[in-house]
A and B are shown apart, each in its own frame.
Chain A
């Protein structure tokens, strides 16, 4: 078992944060490697073949965004970003630059572990998603392109289906408005943010029990959307 422990690299300059994140991850069965600088983090990511990188965006020795872009040049390892900043712009920027998820400080261990598990699951699933996906009482058959809720067939328009497909392909991961627009509507509609909101509303009305208190299609306000198994754990 010991030799197959998944490896996480933690790039964070605050010792106490490293301490509890490490504790939490190790309790989940990860082998955690800490670094205090971006430079060292980049070297470690190259040499240690990590399964996960946790990156603090506000590092004293440089811009975390550069680290991210650099890393994405040669690696697809899942990256979870920690941000202390108030604005949402840097989160969107980080996600667009290739981060898989983000956490805003202060964050709880529960939140952290949920994100870590989600990214782990995505990685394990790899390219080969099963032909059917289930969340809550919704069942999607990807090969037949059918959607059922509580056993009853739900009719989706082509765009709604594409939207759902995109969310399923990125299960548990935050998708920014830009990413969704580019994938579903094409690059010429990048500025039409309200398309996404309107269609996401339609999708919720068809798939959620209470569209104002969604359990699966979650809004990351001002950032994007995320599909989860169940929001209330």
Chain B
């Protein structure tokens, strides 16, 4: 039994496979030409293949290709369509950049985009070219691109270590791993050097010196090995995917997942990259965790930014990231690992700087706490990495700490000094009456109070000041720092120790309190917005509540952009005072893609406003635009998460409001439909009953025995006739009302038209008694999908019309034929015809062909005909018959009639 079930492919896996294939079918395919260094011929290889495809008839265009002045490469471009570059200003120059919008507009089948790792000039939609490529793929366009091994994010520092040259343009590994095909372009190191000497490899002028370092044989061989290995890893991944695809055997995925810890030390990026590589090799998920301790919270803003930057790098490399505020790093890491079922820990090795013999490294602490979890320690930073880190952080954020905070710090120390002076002055008169140990107690109390109020630094200062004051003012000899009795040194030491320890303890408590307060604040604001939103029943309320909550919580201006009926976003915020410079273009992009854009994201990060799509369970409901006055606030992961949660809550509220409206609309519609139907039914019943009586009684008069006199008989017959006409009129009115209200549900069935013609003739027999009727309906007409009752009504009305407006004895001709993809039916007569120019007017309600006419009837019949035919997607026209008279023609669309089951003689019985 178990064997059977094990060999059967898991339905969930199969489903996932189908879903993946569906997503892939819509997405374009990415092929990367991958090489170990510049000059191996990636662009050349890519262009050669593109030319071949072009000859085969593929719609290939060149998005952007750098020929670097190489003739043989440029020659390949000649036959290909090249997208004109978009000129962007950059430091006073004009740079030709890849024009993403033009490419999307052109929408070729395949586009070549050279240099995947390229960074776009500021002002482009995405900071990186690989993001442009992502968008092309999402639009269903296939992309060929090129990439060097040193530009791969996770190998970046390895390559830096080998070559001493660090590049800053990197591509996340996920892009490489998710590419549909990777083509390795490879030449041996010697040949490459040969080409270099021959001047076939492009080197930028300014980088020439560094490059000459780079192109050493040893380097090239190492890079080549890296490129080959990375490609081999990928191929292995492909093989595994293939095996899963084909359900070959049982390839069990290990459930092990990695957790890496991000810290403030230099080289944290290296740890993250190492973890990323390991995760890829193990084919495992991985998490990156940052535990913020009190010490870390006191770090200068630039270094905190740096840590957040490392976390973002982890996220870019495919990790799930989290930030936890806790004083005990080891415990919280282990808790996190256990709660997320992560069995391997990757940490950086602690620097060897142990102050005390009992101090343990993080690694040791973790090992003690959780002996079952695998621990992998990564060697710390090398010189290159450190240099890079410093450069990186400088480039990324020059965020000065706020001025008032520094002022507060200075004030704090001033207060401490003042307090010490005050206590000393207070103690002077006491010294005469009390023992010096009591004076010590007063000082210690002072230190404790200062620690509680003003924090650790102030406590330390106070401890020193108090010791000095005590020594100077109270220890004999007084007013001198000299000490006569050695035992006071002990007093000094104890005073100092008490001051420092108290300061440390209270500072820790204050940190915990502050963390708790932050958490509470976040929880509180979430609770508030959730409560407020749950009470909102109108869009306006949702808008107002979100504006206010975001203003309160993030000290940021917010605007809700909601789509109109056409799916275009519109600003709906209540207070549109222009304080929020909303760019509807970016917002629309965020809405369409379902991805955040603007400040702090990967898309147009240069703008001030952050755009978060409001994704509700069923679909995106709009975009939340936020502009924080303190920008750093939005970079902190917890704040961003909180904002995302807000966005989710707002989205759900919008969706709920939407459904409330839909439900109300449905109730109103149902109610009005019910009312209309019951009204029509009542009208129909109440009018028909007396008409039935009239018809019936008039007819029974004509049947009485002995028979009536001829005038009496005629009167009774006339009453009967008129009552019947009135009944037709009532039917017409009711039908018109039903059709006008749009509530008529067509009972569409596949019908032979001759049957409907037959029943219409039967129904109109009475009024056609004095006319000659000719019917031309071929036998082999296809079935049409119609409501037979309504089409019969059309024909009866047309017959009635013809009989009313032609003298007795006239001919009435009905013909049906197939015209194109329609069935055309015409009713013609040889009577006086229509008044010229009235062909259209006859279909209006209450219109008749002649102004003044003795012919009875309210001109409803043809209006009903038009309404019925149009509800069948057909047309009805009035015209003059060529031989004189009027001709009404209507068409009905032909579809694909179902086949009637073919009958075989053996089917009998």
Docked complex Cα distance between A101 and B575 (Å): 70
Q: Judge whether B97 is part of the interface by a CB distance below 8 angstroms.
A: no
Q: Are B696 and A197 in contact (CB under 8 A)?
A: no
Q: Are A200 and B755 in contact (CB under 8 A)?
A: yes
Q: Are B788 and A17 in contact (CB under 8 A)?
A: no
Count of residues in A whose CB is under 8 Å from the partner chain: 50
Q: How would residues 169 to 212 of chain A score, 1 for a CB under 8 Å from any chain B CB and 0 otherwise? A: 00000000000000001000100111101111100110000111
Q: Are B783 and A194 in contact (CB under 8 A)?
A: yes
Q: Judge whether A50 is part of the interface by a CB distance below 8 angstroms.
A: no
Residues of B close to A24: CB separation below 8 A? 696, 700, 703
Q: Judge whether B285 is part of the interface by a CB distance below 8 angstroms.
A: no
Docked complex Cα distance between A189 and B777 (Å): 29
Residues of A close to B761: CB separation below 8 A? 212-213
Residues of B close to A159: CB separation below 8 A? 903, 907-908
Q: How would residues 757 to 776 of chain B score, 1 for a CB under 8 Å from any chain A CB and 0 otherwise? A: 11101110100000000010
The count of A-to-B residue pairs whose CB atoms sit within 8 angstroms is: 145
Q: Are A17 and B758 in contact (CB under 8 A)?
A: no
Q: Are A210 and B775 in contact (CB under 8 A)?
A: yes
Residues of B close to A88: CB separation below 8 A? 747, 789
Q: Judge whether A153 is part of the interface by a CB distance below 8 angstroms.
A: no
Q: How would residues 213 to 251 of chain B score, 1 for a CB under 8 Å from any chain A CB and 0 otherwise? A: 000000000000000000000000000000000000000
Query: Smallest CB–CB gap between B908 and chain A, Å?
Result: 3
Docked complex Cα distance between A219 and B756 (Å): 8
Q: Judge whether A2 is part of the interface by a CB distance below 8 angstroms.
A: no
Q: Are B900 and A195 in contact (CB under 8 A)?
A: yes
Docked complex Cα distance between A14 and B751 (Å): 38
Q: Are B688 and A106 in contact (CB under 8 A)?
A: yes
Task: Name which residue of chain A comes closest to B689, CB basis.
Answer: A14
Docked complex Cα distance between A224 and B703 (Å): 31
Docked complex Cα distance between A213 and B685 (Å): 31
Q: Judge whether B754 is part of the interface by a CB distance below 8 angstroms.
A: yes
Residues of A close to B901: CB separation below 8 A? 185, 189, 192, 195
Q: Judge whether B461 is part of the interface by a CB distance below 8 angstroms.
A: no
Q: How would residues 720 to 761 of chain B score, 1 for a CB under 8 Å from any chain A CB and 0 otherwise? A: 100110010001001100100000000101111011111101
Cβ-neighbour of A105 out of B689, B703, B735, B747 (below 8 A) = B689
Q: Are B900 and A199 in contact (CB under 8 A)?
A: yes
Q: Judge whether B692 is part of the interface by a CB distance below 8 angstroms.
A: yes
Query: Smallest CB–CB gap between B900 and chain A, Å?
Result: 4
Q: Judge whether A127 is part of the interface by a CB distance below 8 angstroms.
A: no
Q: Are A213 and B775 in contact (CB under 8 A)?
A: yes
Task: Name which residue of chain A comes closest to B696, CB basis.
Answer: A20
Residues of B close to A108: CB separation below 8 A? 695-696, 699, 720
Task: Name which residue of chain B comes closest to A220, CB basis.
Answer: B759
Q: Are A107 and B900 in contact (CB under 8 A)?
A: no
Docked complex Cα distance between A16 and B759 (Å): 31
Q: Are A158 and B907 in contact (CB under 8 A)?
A: yes
Docked complex Cα distance between A232 and B758 (Å): 13
Query: Smallest CB–CB gap between B139 and chain A, Å?
Result: 43
Docked complex Cα distance between A161 and B795 (Å): 31
Q: Are A85 and B685 in contact (CB under 8 A)?
A: yes
Task: Name which residue of chain B comes closest to A159, CB basis.
Answer: B903
Q: Judge whether A47 is part of the interface by a CB distance below 8 angstroms.
A: no
Q: Judge whether A73 is part of the interface by a CB distance below 8 angstroms.
A: no
Taking CB atoms and an 8 Å cut-off, the chain B residues in 653-710 that contact chain A are: 680-681, 684-685, 688-689, 691-697, 699-700, 703, 705
Query: Smallest CB–CB gap between A20 and chain B, Å?
Result: 4
Q: Judge whether B585 is part of the interface by a CB distance below 8 angstroms.
A: no
Query: Smallest CB–CB gap between B744 and chain A, Å?
Result: 11
Q: Judge whether B898 is part of the interface by a CB distance below 8 angstroms.
A: yes
**Given A213-B762, A214-B758, A107 and B703 touching (CB < 8 A)?**
no
Residues of B close to A19: CB separation below 8 A? 697
Query: Smallest CB–CB gap between A145 and chain B, Å?
Result: 10
Query: Smallest CB–CB gap between B673 and chain A, Å?
Result: 14
**Given A17-B692, A85-B685, A105-B689, A197 and B765 touching (CB < 8 A)?**
no
Q: Judge whether A221 is part of the interface by a CB distance below 8 angstroms.
A: yes
**Given A157-B903, A210-B775, A20 and B693 touching (CB < 8 A)?**
yes
Residues of A close to B735: CB separation below 8 A? 86
Residues of A close to B759: CB separation below 8 A? 218-221
Task: Name which residue of chain B comes closest to A13, CB basis.
Answer: B689
Q: Judge whether B398 is part of the interface by a CB distance below 8 angstroms.
A: no
Task: Name which residue of chain B comes closest to A89, CB basis.
Answer: B747
Q: Are A106 and B724 in contact (CB under 8 A)?
A: yes
Q: Are A211 and B754 in contact (CB under 8 A)?
A: yes
Docked complex Cα distance between A107 and B680 (Å): 20
Q: How would residues 896 to 908 of chain B score, 1 for a CB under 8 Å from any chain A CB and 0 otherwise? A: 0110110101011
Q: How would residues 129 to 163 of chain A score, 1 for a CB under 8 Å from any chain B CB and 0 otherwise? A: 00000000000000000000000000001110110
Q: Are A86 and B684 in contact (CB under 8 A)?
A: yes
Docked complex Cα distance between A71 and B325 (Å): 80
Q: How would residues 17 to 38 of chain A score, 1 for a CB under 8 Å from any chain B CB and 0 otherwise? A: 1011101100100000000000
Between-chain CB contacts (< 8 Å), 14 pairs = A17-B692, A24-B696, A58-B685, A86-B738, A105-B688, A106-B688, A106-B691, A189-B901, A193-B749, A194-B900, A211-B754, A214-B758, A219-B758, A219-B759
Extra inter-chain contacts (15) besides given A21-B696, A109-B703, A204-B758, CB under 8 Å: A14-B693, A58-B685, A84-B688, A85-B684, A106-B696, A109-B696, A109-B699, A109-B700, A158-B908, A161-B908, A201-B755, A212-B757, A212-B758, A219-B758, A231-B762
* Chain A residues at the B interface, C-beta cutoff of 8 Å: 14, 16-17, 19-21, 23-24, 27, 58, 84-86, 88, 105-110, 157-159, 161-162, 185, 189, 192-195, 197-201, 204-205, 210-214, 218-222, 231-232
